[in-house]
Structure 1
């Protein structure tokens, strides 16, 4: 991933011989975003994406975020 210009965010396991360095702040932000998507997927309209137009889907996302 690093060869392609990506940043490693997930920390390596404790038992690895060569642990990689991770940024705890970036990892916390990533975790918050993942949890938001998990909560958003509880709403059926978001998970199945009934709205095919981007504007309507954006409205559903905004409404779901307000409800969370």
Structure 2
């Protein structure tokens, strides 16, 4: 599932560049950030073919 999620997310990001998928830094290093909507952020991590959904919230709530 993780492999498919990553592939689908890359394809979706090509069609919708506003998603802005990128790796995070500092205390969230190792996690990825995807802006699903303008102010809706998904934090996730892929480890050993396992997709871990960490947090889904507004940008201000995630990074407060």
Scaled by the length of structure 2, the TM-score of the pair is 0.26
Highest RCO, 1 vs 2 (Cα 8 Å, sep ≥ 6): 2
Relative to its length, the structure with more strand (as a share) is 2
Larger-Rg structure? 1
TM-score normalised over the length of structure 1: 0.25
Structure with a larger share of its residues in helix: 1
